A and B are shown apart, each in its own frame.
Chain A
Amino acid sequence: MAISVPSIAEPPDLLVVDDIEVVYDGAILAVSGISLKVADGAIVALLGANGAGKSTTLKAVSGIVQADRARISRGCIHFDGRDVTGLAPNLLAHQGVVHVLEGRHVFPQLSVEDNLRSGGFLRKLGRREMNAALERIYAWLPRLKVKRQTAAGLTSGGEQQMLALGRALMTGPRLVLLDEPSMGLAPILVEEIFGIISHLNASENIGFVVAEQNVNVALRHAHYGYVIENGRVVDEGPAQRLAEQENIHHYYLGGTVA
């Protein structure tokens, strides 16, 4: 692979995705030439219509693409200065990147608390540290504490989204990849979840890459945004500038830019 290593020398960039191409089943091209950067402690929004390639980009970063019978056929991904292209997702989680999958993939048969605990396993926490970590999560996401003994599959959509986020936070991440957190949730819950993201970002310096179709909310909380269309980045810029842009909603609706 003859790839030109980009400016990874710049220390503030926690994640650098350089010109990646992702192929499903050896034939279907899902992402062709996406590049993006996430500064340490930033919230970055990936915007675009359904099927634009947002999810695939996140899966390429986290390594989950491999479980989908897809692979990165070109380009490279650096996290914290290290090449993590094609690294298995569980190994990447140990390095501090955790992926919250689209559609709230909680473990339905496990209790809410066991879901959270499972996120803490990779840090090999002792019993007391584990309880302290759980209490921190409950402080951030108090709705979960009420439901701690309930089977996760029986909680509401909003609670499952918070649980998936809380479980990811239990891994002690530096960067959280969040796929469509607003999907199927009432507007008030979407606000609540993005509020928590902003709070965690400010107080814990956790970076977020959020793929969203809900452009308004995403840009209100993000620092920077990328607009993805047909597997390519078609626009990027500071969130505020993107939000003021007239045509931004065309992407959201899947229309083309005039």
Chain B
Amino acid sequence: MNFFLETLIGGLLAGTMYSLVAIGFVLIYKASGVFNFAQGAMLLFAALNCVSLQEAGLPFPAAVLASVSIMIVLALAIERAVLRPLVGRSQITLFMATLGLSFIIEGLAQGLMGAEVRALDLGIEDVPITIGDIMVSQFDLFAAATAGILVLVLALLFNKTRIGVSLRAVADDTRAALSIGINLNRIWQIVWAVAGIVGLVAGLLWGARQGVQFALSLVVLKALPVLIIGGFTSIGGAIAGGLIVGAAENLAEVYAGPLLGGGITPWFAYFLALAFLYVRPAGLFGERAIERV
């Protein structure tokens, strides 16, 4: 029983790392209807920035702050150079634009900062601690707490501030938002900046775990099943989706793995997502449009 709980909790905690990546997608998708393929590249770019600045001698908090500023500048540049000229185009056009963008950002990041694997030490050791009878990874706990705090801050931002209400207004009805004077370009800038900062947090946590390197940008592929399960339009869904994927992966690997010859983790999330597509194509928390005829 303890072993089962350990597996489950380990999976849930690891799942928060997926949620973090997925939240970046949800933010941009909600506000601009774009599936931002470049989220992974932004995550890599942010983490590389932070590590490079740290290597250049900046203390860690300063490097993080500088990386946040860089992500804001990047968001402004993307809004001006990519989104604004393409406003009103079809979704597939915008998707292709972000696909192109992801290669540009990746190339730029590696060109400027090098392609070798960099170590990132957040000062938290990845050793298990014992709670009751159960062993839990200290790093996973830290990552989950960070994700929790981030979600709390985002919830406050969305529900309590004028910017948040404007963001939700744009997500609900872009035209109506425009007609009452909400500046769509400003909203996009803010959303992309926030998604960049979320990407930085996710990039640092993933980077600390597996090294800051090109493969970081591939965590987007892990976010896809999370989004399909949780829904593209809900931050709550991204969290639930991440937890489900994390837990299911861990349990499947441990219990079903031996029967199937192991190595289930890389594909099990997609299998799960496919099953969800059959029964709930909008995801668990996706766009339950409130409508009254």
A residues near B (Cβ < 8 Å) are: 62-64, 66-67, 69, 88-90, 93-94, 98-101, 105-110, 114-115, 117-119, 121-122, 151, 153-157, 160, 164, 167-168, 170-171
Contacts A110-B165, A121-B162; A67 near B178 (Cβ below 8 A): yes
29 A-B pairs in the complex with CB atoms less than 8 angstroms apart: A64-B175, A67-B88, A69-B88, A89-B181, A90-B182, A93-B178, A100-B179, A101-B179, A105-B173, A105-B175, A105-B176, A107-B177, A109-B168, A109-B171, A110-B165, A110-B169, A118-B166, A118-B177, A118-B182, A121-B162, A121-B165, A121-B166, A121-B180, A122-B180, A122-B182, A153-B290, A156-B292, A167-B180, A171-B181
Contacts A66-B88, A105-B173, A118-B169; A154 near B182 (Cβ below 8 A): no
Main secondary structure of the interface of B (DSSP, over half): helix
Shortest CB-to-CB span from B231 to chain A, Å, is 14
Q: Which of B172, B174, B176 contacts A109 (CB 8 A)?
A: B172
**Cβ of B151 < 8 Å from any Cβ of A?**
no
Q: How far is the CA of A107 from the CA of B179 in the complex (A)?
A: 12
Q: How far is the CA of A181 from the CA of B291 in the complex (A)?
A: 18
Residues of B within 8 A of A114 (CB): 165, 168
Number of interface residues of B (CB under 8 A): 24
Residues of A within 8 A of B166 (CB): 118, 121
Contacts A107-B173, A108-B172, A118-B165; A62 near B292 (Cβ below 8 A): no
Shortest CB-to-CB span from B161 to chain A, Å, is 11
**Cβ of B74 < 8 Å from any Cβ of A?**
no
Shortest CB-to-CB span from B27 to chain A, Å, is 15
Q: How far is the CA of A159 from the CA of B290 in the complex (A)?
A: 15
Contacts A66-B88, A110-B172, A121-B162; A90 near B290 (Cβ below 8 A): no
B residues near A (Cβ < 8 Å) are: 88, 162, 165-166, 168-169, 171-184, 289-292
Contacts A69-B88, A107-B169; A154 near B175 (Cβ below 8 A): no
Q: How far is the CA of A105 from the CA of B179 in the complex (A)?
A: 10
Q: Would you call A119 and B289 a contact (CB within 8 A)? A: no
Q: Which of A89, A106, A154 has the most CB of B within 10 A?
A: A89
Q: Would you call A122 and B181 a contact (CB within 8 A)? A: yes
Shortest CB-to-CB span from B167 to chain A, Å, is 10
Q: Would you call B169 and A89 a contact (CB within 8 A)? A: no
Q: How far is the CA of A205 from the CA of B291 in the complex (A)?
A: 34
Q: Would you call B88 and A154 a contact (CB within 8 A)? A: no
CB-nearest residue of chain A to B183: A90
Residues of A within 8 A of B174 (CB): 67
Q: Which of B162, B178, B182, B291 has the most CB of A within 10 A?
A: B178
Q: How far is the CA of A154 from the CA of B162 in the complex (A)?
A: 22
Q: How far is the CA of A63 from the CA of B172 in the complex (A)?
A: 19
Q: Would you call B178 and A107 a contact (CB within 8 A)? A: no
CB-nearest residue of chain B to A155: B292
CB-nearest residue of chain A to B290: A153
Shortest CB-to-CB span from B158 to chain A, Å, is 11
Q: Which of B168, B180, B290 contacts A171 (CB 8 A)?
A: B180
- Extra inter-chain contacts (20) besides given A98-B180, A114-B165, CB under 8 Å: A64-B178, A64-B179, A89-B181, A93-B181, A94-B181, A100-B179, A107-B176, A108-B172, A117-B165, A118-B177, A118-B180, A121-B165, A122-B180, A122-B181, A153-B289, A153-B290, A154-B292, A155-B292, A168-B179, A171-B181
Residues of A within 8 A of B171 (CB): 109
CB-nearest residue of chain A to B178: A89
Q: Which of A151, A154, A168 contacts B180 (CB 8 A)?
A: A168
Q: Which of A62, A110, A117, A160 contacts B179 (CB 8 A)?
A: A62
CB-nearest residue of chain A to B186: A90
CB-nearest residue of chain A to B171: A109
Q: Would you call B181 and A121 a contact (CB within 8 A)? A: yes
CB-nearest residue of chain A to B159: A114
Residues of A within 8 A of B168 (CB): 107, 109-110, 114
Q: How far is the CA of A171 from the CA of B180 in the complex (A)?
A: 7
Q: How far is the CA of A108 from the CA of B290 in the complex (A)?
A: 6
Shortest CB-to-CB span from B13 to chain A, Å, is 31
The 5 lowest CB-CB distance pairs between A and B, nearest first, are A153-B290, A93-B181, A122-B181, A105-B176, A107-B172
Q: How far is the CA of A88 from the CA of B87 in the complex (A)?
A: 13
Q: Would you call A93 and B179 a contact (CB within 8 A)? A: yes
Q: How far is the CA of A121 from the CA of B166 in the complex (A)?
A: 8
Q: How far is the CA of A196 from the CA of B171 in the complex (A)?
A: 30
Q: How far is the CA of A54 from the CA of B275 in the complex (A)?
A: 47
Q: How far is the CA of A216 from the CA of B97 in the complex (A)?
A: 50
Contacts A69-B88, A109-B172, A118-B165; A154 near B290 (Cβ below 8 A): yes
